[in-house]
Amino acid sequence: MEENTLTWNDFTKVEMRIGTIISAEIFKEVKNPAYKMQVDFGDYGIKKTSAQITKLYQPEDLIGKQVVAVVNFPKKQIANMMSECLVLGGLGDDKEVTLLTTERTVKNGTKIA
């Protein structure tokens, strides 16, 4: 078995949920261009995060967008903020990130399965 191969048990530990971005602003305190955001995961709460998505998105365009995120990582210090989730996206050839979003609006906190 390859070293980076996940078992089914490993995968089931990753808690991915859908949430709606409720705030987004330029994260001035970081080295690489990023936004500071708050994402509403319904019953799982509002979580803070940082995302290097400035090549394809403007903060005002992110408000109301539903995204997929991992919500069970330990909190991580990023500059002067504690990140509480990891928003997922596809990484392009020029390191631009395209957010993973929903085809239609779903309830915040919906589990990815």
Whether this model's pTM surpasses 0.85? yes
Q: What is the pLDDT of residues 15-40, one digit of tens each?
A: 999 999 999 999 999 999 999 999 99
- To the question of domain 14-104 being in CATH 2.40.50.140, the answer is yes
Q: How confident is the model at residue 2 (pLDDT cuts 50, 70, 90)?
A: low
Quick check: helix, strand or coil at residue 96?
Answer: coil
Q: Where are the domains of the chain?
A: 14-104
Cα distance between residue 78 and residue 48, in whole Å: 11
